[in-house]
Structure 1
Amino acid sequence: MKPFKLFLAVFMLQLTFAFTATAQKQFKVLLVTTTRGWHHESIHAGVLALQQLGVHNYFDVVLWEDPNGFTDKYLEQFQAVIFLNTTGDIFDANQQKVMERFIESGKGFVGIHSASDTEYDWEWYTKLVGRMFHIHPTVQTAKMKVLDPKFPGLQGFADGKLWTEEWYEFGPEKVSGLNYILGVDESTYNPKADWGARGKGEGMGKLHPLAWYHNYDGGRAFYTALGHLPTNFSEPAFLDHLYAGILWAATGKK
């Protein structure tokens, strides 16, 4: 290679690296994985998958690691907060107010699987999620149902697609206006569960939703019940579903 062509090739390569390092990403999300109850084995796989999802789709994923760092000032840099398989009471009263102000400012929330098994006594949060986890039967394979094909990211979940999951049964709606996009066909698995003092589950009937979205308190919230198994996070269909929800929560774009 001639000296000038070599110089030009090196210059262009350096320019590409510089652009990649300095170019602004689409958006930035904070990933929360705190548990104060059951700890899902899939959390590690989920963190890695979401980080790679950010690389592939050019957005930043920051793992929340400082218990005292959940402040208004810190959250200014983010467009959405993701609760990945969180459980129990994970925020104190001050942090709850920070989260409320974050959504009120027009930002977004994404809840994955046991995010609906989190903060039952925080009424505002239960409305943000939309419905809370009640019970589930044993992990089984069942057929999926697309409830709203207009919402993106569902192309891998055509009606009748087989999926193995911990099928959550939910309590009543905590707020009106939930837009259901994905469900499960209860006729294809046994939805019954008996947890003794916790109660029994008989299923939810013809409409058994698994994922939904809605506008809430000035911001946006997306929830999916999928994500119990570590292997879920290597499934292209699930990753497309997650990214569509994250994109909408962070930007309002479908």
Structure 2
Amino acid sequence: MKKTVLAAIAAAAATLAPAAWADTQYKILVLAMPSKYHYEYIPVARDSLEKLGKLHAFEMTYTNKPEVFDGDLSQYAAVMFLNTPPEELNEARRRKFEEYMKNGGNAMLVHRSLIIPEKTWPWFEKLIGRHVGTHPMLQTGVADVVDKKFPAAFGLPDHWIWSDEWYVFDNPYQIKINPVLNVDESSYDPTKIWPGQVSHGMGKEHPVSWYHYVDKSRVFVTALGHDGNMYKDPQYLAHLMGGIWWTATGKGIKQ
């Protein structure tokens, strides 16, 4: 009798387990389109994000096809532009994304997606919260955590040695942002740039990751993530995961 009961329990567990394993907390869309200097990251980032999805129980649509914006965006808790040139979206798809955000959608913008030709899509420039002017050559520097209460900083040391393109920003639309990481300009050369170009630092307040709100929608931004190998780095992935979690759910900020 005891064996029969145990067998029945095991059979029931086997029936229920796949459904339980399939449960996900939310679904995100990741648009990862190649550009001239950003394409090798795509398969690496996909593999790492899929592993994060399995570990943290979220579902992901990962694509390099802008046609995905022709579909139903409301199914996604967040849309991530991953190194994707935002100007690649045509007018109709831009409007679809704007409508998604106006209806309570959320956005996460990574590295190359922060660069958009001025006045090409002013709405998106405001969504970013800053405008990229120049960026020096990739260099090793120190990113300082300025908001320890935000999830994208939880897996990072207070002073994080990182190598990237340290974008220089201005604020033409006077958008208020909440910095998460600043780069210490004394740790690299802000003027080191290609011949014929000129770059200057921003001083002490040089954000490289931040969050803000557009109406009731959440926007998380990180300027970090130039090289494909970065998407294998545990600390960088912790940074991305904290951003994904907060962007999709609004949870995680410590009081």
Structure 1 equivalent of residue 58 of structure 2: 59
1:194-239 CA-to-partner distances (Å, cap 9, x unmatched) read: 4456x41112111111100000144111100111122222222222
Do the aligned residues in 2 keep the contact of 1:134 with 1:169 (CA within 8 Å)?
A: yes
Structure 2 equivalent of residue 103 of structure 1: 101
1:9 aligns with 2:7: no
Structure 2 equivalent of residue 180 of structure 1: 179
Do the aligned residues in 1 keep the contact of 2:107 with 2:219 (CA within 8 Å)?
A: yes
Change (3 A) 1:174 1:64: farther
Structure 2 equivalent of residue 116 of structure 1: 114
Do the aligned residues in 2 keep the contact of 1:36 with 1:88 (CA within 8 Å)?
A: no
The one-letter code matched in structure 1 to 2:125 is T
Do the aligned residues in 1 keep the contact of 2:106 with 2:247 (CA within 8 Å)?
A: yes
Distance of 1:173 and 1:123 partners within structure 2: 10
Distance of 2:56 and 2:44 partners within structure 1: 18
Distance of 1:131 and 1:10 partners within structure 2: 56
Structure 2 equivalent of residue 152 of structure 1: 151
1:17-76 CA-to-partner distances (Å, cap 9, x unmatched) read: 23223x3x21111111124553342232222222221111111110235543413x5112
The range that moved more, 235-244 or 77-86, is 235-244
Distance of 2:17 and 2:210 partners within structure 1: 39
Structure 2 equivalent of residue 248 of structure 1: 246
Structure 2 equivalent of residue 239 of structure 1: 237
1:99-129 CA-to-partner distances (Å, cap 9, x unmatched) read: 1111111110000111101364100000101
The aligned runs of 1:1-254 (5 Å cut-off) are 2=3, 4-21=5-22, 23=23, 25-35=24-34, 37-71=36-70, 73-87=71-85, 89-118=87-116, 120=118, 121-172=120-171, 174-195=173-194, 199-254=197-252
Change (3 A) 1:174 1:43: farther
Structure 1: any 5+ residue segments left out of the alignment? Answer: none
Change (3 A) 1:230 1:110: same
Distance of 1:239 and 1:39 partners within structure 2: 18
Distance of 2:244 and 2:17 partners within structure 1: 28
- SS in structure 1 of the partner of residue 133 of structure 2: strand
- SS in structure 2 of the partner of residue 135 of structure 1: coil
Distance of 1:245 and 1:142 partners within structure 2: 21
Do the aligned residues in 2 keep the contact of 1:119 with 1:126 (CA within 8 Å)?
A: no
The TM-score normalised by the length of structure 1 is 0.89
- SS in structure 2 of the partner of residue 89 of structure 1: helix
The range that moved more, 173-182 or 125-134, is 173-182
Do the aligned residues in 1 keep the contact of 2:111 with 2:226 (CA within 8 Å)?
A: yes
The one-letter code matched in structure 2 to 1:178 is I
Give 1:189 shift: 1.0
Distance of 1:246 and 1:175 partners within structure 2: 25
Do the aligned residues in 2 keep the contact of 1:165 with 1:226 (CA within 8 Å)?
A: yes
- SS in structure 1 of the partner of residue 75 of structure 2: coil
- SS in structure 2 of the partner of residue 200 of structure 1: coil
The one-letter code matched in structure 2 to 1:68 is E
Q: Which aligned segments of 4 or more residues in structure 1 are displaced greater than 6 angstroms?
A: none
The TM-score normalised by the length of structure 2 is 0.88
Quick one: percent identity of the two aligned structures?
Answer: 35
Do the aligned residues in 2 keep the contact of 1:46 with 1:230 (CA within 8 Å)?
A: yes
- SS in structure 2 of the partner of residue 203 of structure 1: coil
Count of residues in Structure 1 that have an aligned counterpart in Structure 2: 250
- SS in structure 2 of the partner of residue 184 of structure 1: strand
The one-letter code matched in structure 2 to 1:220 is R
